[in-house]
Each structure stands twice: as C-alpha cells, then as structure tokens.
Structure 1
Amino acid sequence: MPPFRPDALALSWRGADEVTDALPAVARRISGLGVDGQLLSRLEFLRTALDLLYQDVHDLGLRLGRDAGRSAEVLDRAEQFSFLHAAAGCVHLWWFNRGRSLFGTEPGSTGWLVAALDLLHDRSGGPHIRLDPEVTEAPFVMALTLHAQRRLFSCVALPTAKADPETGATG
C-alpha cells in the first residue's frame, strides 16, 4: 500500500446538494404558513449566507484554478458550508415534523429551530466564545424542562429494543 500523503488530498464539489438545494422551496412554503417573523428572518439569513458562500467558492475556483481544492481558503469555506448545511437540515427536520412534538415542545413550535439556526449561522462565521443570551434562552429552557422530566435530549427516540415485525411490540 502506498504511503499516506495528505498533501495530495483535495476538496471537490460534486454539484447538487439536496438539502441546501431544497431550502428555497421549503422556505417559501414556511412563509406561507404565517409563522413568526423570527423564523422567517433566520431563513432569509440562511439563504443569503448560502448564496454568498456559493459565489465565494466560485470566485476562489476562478482565482486559484486547479489548486483551489488544496487551498486553505476553500477548506475554510467547506467548514462554513458544513454549519450552513446543518442549519438547512434543521429546517427540513422541523418542516417534515411540524405536526409532532420535537424536543418536548408543542407541535409546530419554532423556538428550538430559531435557536439552532442562530447558533449554526453564528458558527458558520468562525469561532466565537459566547452567544447572546436571547439566542440561548429557548434551548436552555427546553433542556431544563426535558432534564426535569428525566427525558432524553433528542427529537427522535433512540431504539432501545428490536420491534417484532408482525406486532411492533418490543421486548
């Protein structure tokens, strides 16, 4: 086996990304629901950040040519994209489960989503020490409530036993 050569690694963009590509359509549908303005403004920030990132990566590719994939600048943009991608994933999680209780909140509650979008958008801009108190209040209250109820801090229950395929019973 040949020796590992990290200097030979390069980032590549494979084109379409279903999570971020579907965001504008989902954001339009969310805005049609009449949800609070906080969520709508976060969705607009997210869409704008993704558009600016795509343009920045395109410009870097033109400027750096074939070496763009090995550039520290492009690696920084990949890190930024990972946070924005996670934010888009949170939007889809809320959208497709808005009729369910997520994280112990009322169905359709956007408090956790707004907080998650704020955190991920903030982190996409680089490392920060501390978030503003208004950003952290909603998830903090939610976590305290779940802790007091001795519940897991997850929006999806973790399977703890295999279900019987015929009856659905666990055991």
Structure 2
Amino acid sequence: MTAKPAVGTPARPGMTIPTFIFALYNENQKRGPGTERHWGLLDCNGKPVYGVDLTGELESNDDQLPMPQNNKPYQGKIWCVVASEVNPEQLVSALIYACSQGNGTCDALMPGKECYEPFSLLSHASYAFSSYWAKFRSLGANCYFNGLAVQTTEDPSRGSCKFPTVTL
C-alpha cells in the first residue's frame, strides 16, 4: 500500500514508502493476552481504534510530539530471578546450565554454604540465574533463560544469602 502521488516523510519528501497493515480489524475471538487481540485499525464493529486517515484526504497536522516526562533509564541494582508459573522440568535444565559455566557461579548453593537453605528448586534457580547474569553480563549474557527468568528491582537475598546483582 503506497500513497499516490508519493508523499514521503518530512525527512524524505516525495519518496514512496511501502506500508503494510498487519490487521485491519481487532480480533475479538482470539485467545491470549489482551494486547494480542488489539492490533487492528478498526474495532469489530467497524469503528476506528486509532486516528489513522486511510483516505489521504485529511489535512496533515505536523504537531510536535510532547516531550517525554520520564525519559531517564533506571539506575540501581537489578536481580535475575525465576519467573512466576514456570515449568519445573524446564527449570532443572536452566539451573544446570547456569551452574555448569564455572567461575564459582553456584558455589554458594553447595551444602553447608550460605545459600543452600532453603533447599528448593525455585530458590536455587533464582540464585543461579542472578549469579550467572552478574558474572557473564559483560560478555553478552542476559536474564532470560528461555523465558524462565525475569529481572526485578526487589532484592531476593535472605539472611546471610546475598544474591549477586547487576548495577545499572
């Protein structure tokens, strides 16, 4: 879909810009998260969801966008912990991966060490994820573990067990 004649953008006037519409209508019958159902330009009853002129007949208003109110990146400590509602079978392999990288990533989880108790898969995996991310982030590691981990600003440490952290 392109404009005729080619209108372009303020930075590239007169250029043809190919445009693709992913979904014309919202999908009110689609299962899943709410945002997955709201990618259409029109509601199920045909009313516009967004103020998009598909005819090209309306005057363009080149109003400047408002300045962002909070455009500062987060600065502080972040931990990598197990996400809610994960499959324990998948968690085991992720824990093994995080702990098998060497450099003492999971030394604190050994029997008698400060993070051995409580002896639970969730607790040990959270420590392992946070430790792995803190040690290997500078080499490109992330806090994802195939969707099993999330970042948090709440310190998961307890008692003498201090979780490694990433400071931004």
Q: TM-score, normalised by structure 1?
A: 0.23
Q: Which has the larger strand fraction?
A: 2
Q: TM-score, normalised by structure 2?
A: 0.23
Q: Which has the larger helix fraction?
A: 1
